[in-house]
Amino acid sequence: MPAKTFYLETFGCQMNAHDSEKVVGTLMAKGYTQVPTPEEAGLVLYNTCSIRDKAEQKVYHRLQQFKRNGKDKVIGVLGCVAQQEGERIFERAPNVGLVCGSASYNKLGELLVQIEAGDRRVTGLSLDTDEAFDTPFTRRDNPHRAYITIIEGCDKSCAYCVVPFTRGPERSRTSESVMAEARRLAAEGYSEIQLLGQNVNSYRDPTPAGWNFATLLGRVAEISGIRRVRYTTSHPRDFGRDIVDAMDSNPAICDHVHLPVQSGSSDVLARMERLYTRDEYIERIDWLKNARRIYSITTDIIVGFPGETEKDFEATLALLDEVEYDSLFSFKYSPRPNTAALGLEDHIPDEEKQRRLVIVQEKQRAIQIRRNAGLIGSVKEVLVEGRHQALEQWIGRTSDNRTLNFTHPLDGAASLTGKYLPVRVTRSGPNSLVGESVTVV
Ligand code: 5AD
Ligand code: SF4
């Protein structure tokens, strides 16, 4: 393999983005240098996602590109496709030399030594480890906002979902180690922490302290220097009232909850094995709507799950009207390997899934236009994320997770990035807000 250089491209969710930070740190500690293009790299890595077929195909497309011009490189597949497909990847993409799932990143150093020694096909695919949390060399991308993994894997078995197969069973990290990492990050100047897990609500401290998620959330938010705490993702079944209480009593916990519902029909939810009904979901939404602060609520929707009737679909549309989400992610159901839904009958044609997807998205767009317009005139605090040169605006994010770009008298003269500023909303669109900074006297 040529000089110790690597290129890494990341697909998928925030868990993957954070895993990539761990991978970059581990490689740099081994003397590797990151380069911006695959052409320059001796080691080309793809940290992959397999949540839907499209995400998986993207990876194979990348590997295909290297068939001709990647002869002198070692190509590695990391993440969820690696875990799902394992050694089959070597058959499908013979130019791949390394296949490693997320639970084995702490072994990456050893695997690279094997590659350097000339091994052609190296794997790290074990799932029965809880050592993945403490990859000591994490190299974070953002100087103000830091991810912390609090729980790995997932013990639910939603009928459509590949995650339990790619990330294994639930393993919670000790509260002591989470708190130590959060305190260290605060001391290093990070002001926003995002607690990560496939289902953070089912966090359970494995030490005798026995903290649940609400306790951990509250304690992290009390750390001095931490101004914002976010968490993702939640599962409605495990989303307890104590989480809302923790949010209400600690202003550092952001005004936002992502609570994926998937469908508004209790019949579909039962077939998805989501473990809650529409009414039970609405009960949780009511806790949030009747709370002491105003929380923005976002969700995920899957359309076209096997057997979803027109009536089921209308129940989802009615739910959108009832909850009035601040934002949502919507997806066409995509059959995944190993999942229970593969065995269900009545698969829905793609054109029909597409039709339903467009209807959901158009309805939600109208809701967002209305809700965002209602914010004009209000003042919101933003964390400044950077500068949009072309628009001559600063990019801000509100506690309730909206993008609020704004003008400021300093106008690019000095960097505002990383600062917290009050901004008055002057204009709104379906996906973002525009405003001007409020000078505080
Ligand atoms: N097909 C379509 N969407 C899916 N999701 C998870 N699995 C599938 C699948 N097989 C969606 C869910 C989940 C989000 C991360 O991705 O909505 O909440
Ligand atoms: Fe994709 Fe799920 Fe893996 Fe995240 S955990 S990368 S969403 S398959």
Cα angle for residues 354, 355, 357 (degrees, 5° grid): 60
Is 421's pLDDT higher than 70? Answer: yes
199 lines ligand 2 (CB under 6 A): no
What is the C-alpha separation between 82 and 186, in angstroms, rounded? Answer: 34
Ligand 2 proximity of 20 Cβ (cutoff 6 Å): no
172 CA → ligand 2 middle, Å: 18
What is the structure's pLDDT at 127?
Answer: 84
Angle among Cα 213, 14, 415 to the nearest 5 degrees reads 105
Q: Check pocket membership of 52 for ligand 1, CB cut-off 6 A.
A: yes
Q: Residue 82 — pLDDT band, cuts 50, 70, 90?
A: very high
**Over residues 110-130, mean pLDDT:** 88
Q: Which bound ligand lies closest to the C-alpha atom of 234?
A: 1
- Cα 272 to Cα 275: distance, rounded to the nearest angstrom: 8
Q: What is the dihedral of CA 388, 391, 393, 399, to 10 degrees?
A: -70
Torsion of CA 91, 95, 100, 102, to 10 degrees: -100
**Ligand 2 mean position to 50 CA, how many Å?**
6
Which has the higher per-residue pLDDT, 60 or 132?
Answer: 60
| pLDDT one-digit tens code per residue, 310-322 | 999 999 999 999 9
Chain centroid to CA 368: 21
pLDDT digits (tens, 9 = 90+) for 173-201: 999 999 999 999 999 999 999 999 999 99
Q: Whose CA is nearest to atom 1 of ligand 2?
A: 49
Measured from the alpha carbon of residue 258, the closest ligand is 1
Please check whether residue 107 is in contact with residue 124, taking contact to mean a CB–CB distance below 8 angstroms: yes
Whether residue 133 is predicted with pLDDT greater than 70 in this model: the reply is no
Q: What is the pLDDT of residue 423?
A: 98
> What 3-state DSSP class applies to 173?
coil
Share of the chain above pLDDT 90, in %: 87
What is the pLDDT at residue 441?
42
- Ligand 1 center–CA 183 separation, angstroms: 34
**Residue whose CA lies nearest to ligand 2 atom number 5:** 163
**Which helix (H) or strand (E) element contains residue 367?**
helix 350-373
What is the best residue among 300, 301, 332 to mutate for testing ligand 1's pocket, by most ligand atoms within 8 Å of CB? Answer: 300
The mean pLDDT of 9-38, rounded to a whole number, is 95
Q: Are 53 and 334 in contact (CB under 8 A)?
A: yes
For atom 8 of ligand 2, the residue with the nearest CA is 51
CA–centroid distance, residue 266 to ligand 1 (Å) = 17
Going by alpha carbons, the residue nearest to atom 6 of ligand 2 is 49
Angle between helix 350-373 and 310-323 (nearest 10): 10
pLDDT in tens, 242-287: 999 999 999 999 999 999 999 999 999 999 999 999 999 999 999 9
The response to whether residue 331 sits with its C-beta less than 6 Å from ligand 1 reads: yes
- What's CA 84's distance to the chain center, in Å? 19
**Counting ligands in written order, which one lies closest to the CA of residue 335?**
1
Ligand 2 pocket, residue 233 CB under 6 Å: no
- Whether 423 and 379 have beta carbons less than 8 Å apart is answered as yes
Alpha-carbon Rg for the chain in angstroms: 23
* pLDDT mean over 33-46: 94
Helices assigned H by DSSP within 3-52: 14-29
Q: How far is the CA of 162 from the centre of ligand 2 (A)?
A: 8
Cβ distance 225 to 183 under 8 Å? no
> Could you say which ligand is closest to the alpha carbon of residue 154?
2
Q: Is the CB–ligand 2 distance for residue 167 below 6 Å?
A: yes
Q: pLDDT band at 131, cuts 50/70/90? A: low
User: What whole-number percentage of the chain has pLDDT above 70?
Assistant: 95
Structural domains of the chain sorted by starting position, each given as residue range(s) with its CATH number in brackets: 5-124 (3.40.50.12160), 145-373 (3.80.30.20), 379-437 (2.40.50.140)
Ligand nearest to the CA of 298: 1
Cβ of 300 below 6 Å from ligand 1? yes
Q: Does the pLDDT at position 110 exceed 70?
A: yes
Looking at the chain, how many residues does it have? 441
Check whether 330 has a pLDDT greater than 60.
yes
46 contacts 78 by C-beta, under 8 angstroms = yes
Structure confidence at residue 412 as a pLDDT band (50, 70, 90)? low
The DSSP bridge pattern shows strands 96-100 and 43-48 to be: unpaired
**Which atom belonging to ligand 1 lies closest to the Cα atom of 341?**
10
